[in-house]
Chain A
Amino acid sequence: MDQDFQIEVRAGSTPPVIAVSGEIDVATAPQLRECLHGAIARGEATIVLDLLGVTFLDSTALGVLVGALKRCRDLGGELHVVVADPRITKIFEITGLTSVFSIADSLESAGAA
């Protein structure tokens, strides 16, 4: 288990911001899935997912994000992803997900207030 992995749900921002740091892989992705699905189940159709502190991301993490995006869109919302690290951006690019997700390089440009 990645000791640096953390999820922070920032209360009070609109839309809600879920900030993740550390490595998101097969060991930690279930925690992210639970957090995202929990927020969506509470009626949050649009979420800003802050990945600025993420140092590694694999296909299981992407699978969680794709699943959450579908749920958000089913409710008429959106999952905005914030990424700045070129290594993380590259993973979205090579999987073709830059055309699927709304990706921003800062919280401000993702519309988080």
Chain B
Amino acid sequence: MTEIADRLESGDRIELKFPARGDLIVLARLVTSAISARAGFDIEELEDLRLAVGELCLLTLQGSDAQHGDLRLELSVRGDAIEVVCTLERAGVASAPGPDGDEVARLSEQILDALVDEHGRESRDGSVRAWLRKRRGGHAE
């Protein structure tokens, strides 16, 4: 494995904010790959995190009027783990879920259950917030 010079250390935190559009979730996945590699996760864990963070974004957007909000992603290195918090800000409630909406949410939950150590979702003060935590070498399916 190639050694990365610019490693992230425990306590380092990166934020990304972008319009809450599905086609921009790829940005969250790209940033997650880069951060995970610098935090010492191996290639398989990195792929797991990339998929899991995409699902976290999808769960956050679910049931919201994403045309009018922003998605804020916070990635924090904590010891041998990475924590990711995804918050939807300033969005309204969607009039109807998209096609396959319930099925997709169920699949998202299953993917997160399998790939990360902990995850959750909550609505508070008009914002939707979903989070996950994954340890290096710590999660077994």
Contacts and interface: CB of A to CB of B under 8 A. Distances in A.
A96 B110 contact: yes
Interface residues of B, number: 23
Interface of B is mostly: helix
Contacts of B111: 58-59, 91, 94-95
A58 B54 contact: yes
Given A63-B103, A66-B100, A23 B26 contact: yes
B32 to A, nearest CB: 12
B110 A33 contact: no
Contacts of A60: 22, 58, 100, 104
A96 B29 CA distance: 23
Chain A interface category by residue count: 20 to 34
B99 A67 contact: yes
Nearest to B107: A59
A105 interface: no
Interface in B94-135: 99-100, 103-105, 107-108, 110-111, 114-115
B115 A94 contact: yes
A54 to B, nearest CB: 13
Given A59-B111, A60-B58, 16 more contacts: A26-B22, A27-B23, A27-B26, A56-B29, A56-B50, A56-B51, A58-B51, A58-B55, A59-B108, A63-B99, A63-B100, A63-B104, A67-B100, A91-B51, A94-B111, A94-B114
